[in-house]
Structure 1
Amino acid sequence: CGEAYPAKHGGACQACTGDDPFVRATAPRPRLTAVPVEQAVGRKALHDMTSVEPGKSKEALFTAGQTLEAGDLCRLQRMGRMHVYLADDAAPGPDFVHEDDAAKALAEALCESGAIATAGPPREGKITLVAARSGLLAVDAGRLQALNALCDVALSTLHDATLVSQGQALGGVRAIPLFLHRQVLDRALALCGAGGPLCDVAPLRAARAGALITGTEVFTGLIEDKFAPVLARKLEALGSELAEVRFAPDSAADIAAGARQLLDAGCDLILTTAGMSVDPGDVTMNGLLEAGLEDAVFGMPVLPGNMTLLGRLGDAPVMGVPACALFHAVTSLDLLLPRVLAGRTITRADLAAMGHGGFCANCARCTFPHCPFGK
């Protein structure tokens, strides 16, 4: 293609492969003619026109296609609209798409999976996206960034892995200019549909969880267990239940037997507690491996919650919950449990990425999840 590109991109030109990170600052614009408002009476507005009253309101007082009347002149002038674009004067040609039509096309592509819906018709080239069901928001951050690198389109979302309720606003898509170049729209639509939904909402399954409380001091009754109520509360908040609780001493064989008992009892999510640090009695991992633990990933860059374990026993996900969950109100468990219930496959790379934003500030007044932790 003759395009120069940075050596760090490797041997293949990204423009030729369709990624095209080398975009001009502005896309082509059609030539439009504005007329004085005095000449607009009896004619139709080309686009929405917004009035802003600081601290009070921001709304479109005039909408696209609305016939302007003599009584509207003063309001338009007070809005700073001394000249306006009119629908019957606009002839942008086939290479351009009106902002509302472009926003509608983008929203339809983003909503194709059925998990996301629109809050209403386009206004000023913008459409708000809402969750069509409750669950865990999934955002393909790479494609989101690629789309926003294009000229004249914008897609804003909540963070990936945010819990959303049905009807909750989760993002907004917009065509920035009054008329969007069709080539830009086509490229944006291709990004929306390439490789599955760019944005999705995964429902949380209602798990029948089993807890394996480890520790000889609890098993023998030297101290009272405080872990089961913590787990039950967090599960119930996400629509699941703590159906079974078993206790095991610091013995790999007993821990393995306890895990098998939970599976035999019909538990489809296994939560083990503590026993994964460096003390001689920390043998929970050994016991789970003896029980048949597969795809084990241990340790993650989240504080509190470094000593977290993920894996599976058969089809049942396994989460090893570190002892810090007894003390801290919010830990790695609160970040991972929704992902597990949503059926996400969590890899070592996923955990590694959580180090950015994975430090809890232990605020005097906790506002999780409305805070930077886990973002």
Structure 2
Amino acid sequence: MIFGDVALADAEGAILAHSKALDRGRLKKGTRLSADDVARLREAGIATVVAARLEPGDLTEDEAAAAIGAALAGAGVRAGAAATGRVNLFAEPAGLFLPDRGVVDALNAIDPGITLATLAEHAPVGAGQMVATVKIIPLAVPGAAVDRAVRLVADRAAFRLAPFAARRLALIQTELPGVKPSVLDKTRRATEARLALSGSTIGEEIRCAHDTAALKDALERLGPADITLVFGASAVIDAGDVIPAAIVAAGGAVDHLGMPVDPGNLLLLGRLEGRPVLGAPGCARSPKENGFDWVLNRLLADLAVSGEDIRRMGVGGLLMEIASRPQPREALPKKSETQGAADVG
């Protein structure tokens, strides 16, 4: 591509770099100048325009974006139409977005004019939500570079969508003296809101005392469920605590306790009769994102979660604080302190 000032005599077929307001309408940036367009520019007293002239093998920004977008589509992702050098990609079903960083980085390294931006790994998305965008920076790029990008993603997908499946969950909440029923009701509502994106539901709920024997009995009384969620009246801080002990006593197993995500540290991952059991951290009573969401969403998308997976969640695992936590990471300043700071400055 040759970019710069172009005399009108040579401008037919060139791509206009900047919009031009004329007496008879407007020529938009990116317009492939026709003979009539050149005549209108001449009538307006314009002698030269800033434009791009294609060299052999070049593709316009829309042609390049459309080719790369079409190659990226598939595995639950569709491509939109090309416009102004951009193609957006959208989730077809709701699910978890799974990009391959190596492929995305390799595509972005092919040519400075070709870019691909995506959502973060394991981002939960609704049907129709944008998950990635291809943007061609200049008005045209070499066709050879576009071919390399297309071949790259043909050999190894840059991303895919793991669709959510509607699951039936069981919910157990343990109680201690002084725990208000309204707290447990709020926890159920927050959980139902978390499940809405996947179409999953709570099929059964049991509330029982916060002791090993009562929780063991509740686990054994549950009907069929794809996933069991246990919210304890007291946080799990040891493998011998109430929730892990009850799971083991009921014939299950604890796969992992704790996670390097905050809020969400005190999560338990276990199994009972071959199905996942999650011991929820206290922060999961809030609707705000925490480590519990990261594990639950993977299970709802039918992705296996191991202890090793959880141990690798530390980078990016420092999430926004939840103000309602009993013990926030940093002590909140007292009202008198904040007032004093405001008075100072």
Normalised by the length of structure 1, the TM-score is 0.69
Q: CA shift at 1:104, angstroms?
A: 2.1
Alpha carbons of 1:211 and 1:144: their partners in 2 closer, same or farther (altered >3 Å)? same
Q: Which residue of 1 aligns with 2:39?
A: 70
Distance 2:315 2:220 in 1: 36
Listed one character per residue, the Cα deviations across residues 167-209 of structure 1 (whole Å, up to 9, x for unaligned) are 3322211344523252x444433432345x4222333222221
- CA–CA separation in structure 2 for the residues paired with 1:294 and 1:143: 37
Instruction: Give 1:323's match in structure 2, choosing from 271, 282, 291.
Output: 282
Which SS does the other structure have where 1:259 is aligned?
Answer: helix
1 CA distance for matches of 2:61 and 2:200?
44
- After superposition, the Cα gap between the structure-2 partners of 1:282 and 1:206, relative to the gap in structure 1 and judged at 3 Å, is same
Q: Is the 8 A contact 1:212 1:271 kept in 2?
A: yes
Partner of 2:293: 334
Q: Do structure 1's residue 212 and structure 2's residue 172 form an aligned pair?
A: yes
| Correspondences of 1:2-81 after superposition (within 5 Å) | 32=2, 36-40=6-10, 43-45=12-14, 47=15, 49-51=17-19, 60-64=28-32, 66-67=34-35, 68-72=37-41
State how far apart, in whole Å, the 1-side matches of 2:132 and 2:45 are.
30
Match of 1:92 in 2: 56
Letter in 1 for 2:236: S
Alignment map for 1:111-260 (pairs within 5 Å): 111-113=73-75, 115-124=76-85, 126-152=86-112, 153-176=114-137, 178-180=140-142, 182=144, 184-195=145-156, 197-215=157-175, 217=176, 223-225=179-181, 226-236=183-193, 237-238=196-197, 239-260=199-220
Task: Supply the distance in 1 between the matched residues of 2:276 and 2:72 (Cα, whole angstroms).
Answer: 30
Q: Distance in 2 between matches of 1:280 and 1:355?
A: 21
How far apart are 1:122 and its partner, in Å? 4.4
The equivalent of 2:314 in structure 1 is 355
SS of the equivalent of 1:255 reads: helix
* Cα 1:290–1:364 shift into 2, 3 Å: closer
RMSD (Å) for aligned C-alpha atoms = 3.6
Aligned amino acid, residue 39 of structure 2:
A
Letter in 2 for 1:134: A
In 2, Cα distance between equivalents of 1:150 and 1:280:
50
**Structure 2 equivalent of residue 102 of structure 1:** 64
Shift of 1:352: 3.2
Cα deviation 1:133-187 (Å, max 9, x = unaligned)? 33332222232223223333311012222232333322211344523252x4444
Alpha-carbon distance between aligned partners in 2 of 1:75 and 1:293, rounded to the nearest angstrom: 81
Q: Which aligned pairs between 1:250-329 and structure 2 lie closer than 5 A?
A: 250-262=210-222, 265-274=223-232, 275-278=234-237, 282-294=241-253, 296-326=255-285, 329=288
* C-alpha contact 2:98 2:121 (8 A) present in aligned 1: yes
Counterpart-to-counterpart distance in 2, 1:349 and 1:98: 46
What's the offset of the Cα at 1:100?
3.4
Among all aligned residue pairs of Structure 1 and Structure 2, give the percentage whose two residues are the same amino acid: 27
Q: CA contact under 8 A between 2:190 and 2:287: conserved in structure 1? A: no
Structure 1 letter corresponding to 2:31 = T
Q: Distance in 1 between matches of 2:251 and 2:51?
A: 71
Residue 84 of structure 1 and its aligned partner are, at CA, apart by: 2.9
Task: Give the gaps of 5 or more residues in structure 1.
Answer: 1-29, 54-58, 366-375
Distance 1:209 1:228, change over 3 A: farther
Alpha carbons of structure 1 residues 280 and 149: separation in structure 2 relative to 1, 3 Å: closer
Residue type of the partner of 2:88? T
Distance in 2 of aligned mates of 1:252 and 1:62: 69
CA distance in 2, matches of 1:165, 1:75: 49
Q: Which amino acid aligns with 2:265?
A: N
Find the aligned partners of 2:241 and 2:7 in 1 and give their Cα distance.
78
Work out the CA distance in 2 between the residues paired with 1:133 and 1:335. 19
| Aligned-partner residue type, residue 72 of structure 1 | L
* Equivalent position amino acid for 1:104 in 2: A
What is the CA-CA distance between 1:66 and the residue it aligns to? 4.8
Separation in 2, partners of 1:116, 1:296: 33
Stretches of structure 2 lacking an aligned partner (at least 5 in a row) = 22-26, 325-345
Amino acid of the structure 2 residue aligned with 1:273: F
CA distance, structure 2, for counterparts of residue 337 and residue 331 of structure 1:
10
The aligned amino acid for 1:107 is G
CA contact (8 A) 2:173 2:207 kept: yes
CA contact (8 A) 1:34 1:85 kept: yes
Which shifted more, 328-337 or 297-306?
328-337
Distance 1:73 1:321, change over 3 A: farther
- How many positions carry a matched residue from both structures? 311
Residue 38 of structure 2 aligns with an amino acid whose one-letter code is E
> Is this contact kept in 1: 2:174–2:208, CA < 8 A?
yes
The structure with more strand, counted as a fraction of residues:
2
Note if contact 1:250-1:282 (Cα within 8 Å) is conserved in structure 2.
Answer: no
State the secondary structure of the residue aligned to 1:211: strand
